[in-house]
Chains A and B, each alone.
Chain A
């Protein structure tokens, strides 16, 4: 399906709640083809939930999400699966299959969806593992990997089908500075060289700023601000300033709602 429109993903008037808790309300968001888009926001704003909505692991109560102009809620399972073959997703914890080794994990989508020869699969898998620097770990089991290594293997697996859209859920957490630099460059390079559209969920402001073309700051179930990283850094809004510069005081409370501190410590209950 070739679609030359500029917007790859459009979210319109999205409403999603879990029990009584409203997570998104009247949310509108656009992800442009070929760009690296970052979704940022304080913890607990539902960034991961938004990714799950975009990939239809969850279905919104109201509103619609269009991918390539198609409302994904209307897809049957076969169409959904053929759409998902064009997605690559990197989960927060890697989500590698623990009963097979690193090589087979990366080969998994190829073995499931293609009839490529073992020789070709070997070439493709080793190329992808080399790109994340773990060609030497091909025979290791997922349990033997560190958190950062597991994430890099998962990235190789997400890339192996050469997807159109790569989704990263907190890709920078737990990476050492060297791997982080390599991964950031890899994200950017894949985007530019292969024309992939990337979506990054992160609250790592500094790293995101180096790689993202456009950032959305999500707070209270809505898009609070959007723009290039420079625009966001320069924004006047208190919320944006607090988040981008990591200040404890501001519209977003650091403390979860609680009774008065002194009263709780000195009150009768403390005995």
Chain B
């Protein structure tokens, strides 16, 4: 019993310590950010390309099919109440408020987050970060900050693209395949989607962008510099990002209601 309590105590202590270090790390990243944006915008743009543009295919394909399946499910369930014209509303609200930001963040963690963590972890394992230190270049500023900012900028854009391709997917399924009236599809959507809904989606996309990018660079930077350590850091990036995104999603939704 005593041993169990001590284990719990140690784990809690370790968690608090790590969480504190994580917050300090966040502040460090934020502190260096303005300088990088103003003086080295090229570094950030390169990372927006790496994390954003290179994730486009997966985001668009997934967006299309998520929208399509929402159209399919929405149609078959709404048809029971003769309300299939509302399918546009259902799909739009689901995508804009919830699925757009959440699924994009999860895909981002899997595609871009893992790439960031393993890249930074390997740079550490192969002494590239030490070499920068020795060349009097701060690796936090030169390597981590541009990658973090790239992710933060890319995420809202990816969410917007995901949502749009999702709506297109729903349109293809509902209007073109299931013959929902095209006018009703768009008009119902226009009537019931409020600016407040869009604001919620945009807020979530920014928050998830910060969380997913920060976790990815944090895990990479703190990886144990071995093959196994980098592998583990990559896995942790996906797992912790997924959990954090879902918890934060719940909290933001609760606050915005």
How many Å from the CB of B125 to the closest CB on chain A? 10
Given that A93-B126, A98-B126 are contacting pairs, would A109 and B135 also be in contact in the complex, using a CB cutoff of 8 Å?
Answer: yes
Contacts of B123 in A (CB 8 A): 97-98
Contacts of A157 in B (CB 8 A): 135
The listed residue (B122, B126, B134) touching A84 by CB distance below 8 A is: B134
> A109 vs B137: C-alpha distance in the bound complex, in angstroms?
8
* Proximity string of chain A (194-230) to chain B, C-beta cutoff 8 Å, 1 when within and 0 when not: 0000000000000000000000000000000000000
How many Å from the CB of B82 to the closest CB on chain A? 58
The listed residue (A89, A112, A161) touching B131 by CB distance below 8 A is: A89
Q: Which residues of A (73-100) have their CB < 8 Å from a CB of B?
A: 77, 81-82, 84-85, 87, 89, 91-93, 95-99
| B: contact size bracket | 10 to 19
Chain B's closest residue to A161 (CB) is: B135
> A55 vs B133: C-alpha distance in the bound complex, in angstroms?
10
A108 within 8 A of B: yes
Q: Which residues of B (71-110) have their CB < 8 Å from a CB of A?
A: none
Contacts of B142 in A (CB 8 A): 112
Contacts of B133 in A (CB 8 A): 57, 84
B134 touches A81 (CB 8 A): no
> A161 vs B136: C-alpha distance in the bound complex, in angstroms?
11
The listed residue (B119, B127, B136) touching A95 by CB distance below 8 A is: B127
> A57 vs B124: C-alpha distance in the bound complex, in angstroms?
13
How many Å from the CB of A198 to the closest CB on chain B? 15
Chain B's closest residue to A81 (CB) is: B136
**Residue positions of B touching A, CB distance < 8 A:** 119, 122-123, 126-128, 130-138, 142
B135 touches A112 (CB 8 A): yes
B134 touches A89 (CB 8 A): yes
**Chain A residue total in the interface (Cβ 8 A):** 24
How many Å from the CB of B115 to the closest CB on chain A? 12
B128 touches A95 (CB 8 A): yes
B135 touches A93 (CB 8 A): no
> A234 vs B177: C-alpha distance in the bound complex, in angstroms?
92
> A81 vs B133: C-alpha distance in the bound complex, in angstroms?
8
Q: List 26 A-B contacts (CB under 8 A).
A: A77-B138, A81-B138, A84-B133, A84-B135, A89-B131, A89-B134, A91-B131, A93-B127, A95-B126, A95-B127, A95-B128, A97-B123, A97-B128, A97-B132, A98-B122, A98-B123, A98-B126, A98-B128, A108-B135, A109-B135, A112-B136, A112-B137, A112-B142, A154-B131, A157-B135, A161-B135
A85 touches B136 (CB 8 A): yes
> A84 vs B135: C-alpha distance in the bound complex, in angstroms?
6
Contacts of B127 in A (CB 8 A): 91-93, 95
A113 within 8 A of B: yes
Contacts of B138 in A (CB 8 A): 77, 81
> A112 vs B43: C-alpha distance in the bound complex, in angstroms?
12
Given contacts A97-B123, A98-B128, A154-B131, 15 further A-B contacts (CB under 8 A): A77-B138, A81-B136, A82-B136, A84-B133, A91-B130, A91-B131, A93-B126, A96-B128, A97-B128, A97-B132, A109-B135, A109-B137, A112-B136, A157-B135, A161-B135
B128 touches A57 (CB 8 A): no
Closest 3 A-B residue pairs measured CB to CB? A95-B131, A95-B127, A81-B136
> A99 vs B118: C-alpha distance in the bound complex, in angstroms?
13
> A92 vs B130: C-alpha distance in the bound complex, in angstroms?
12
A57 touches B130 (CB 8 A): yes
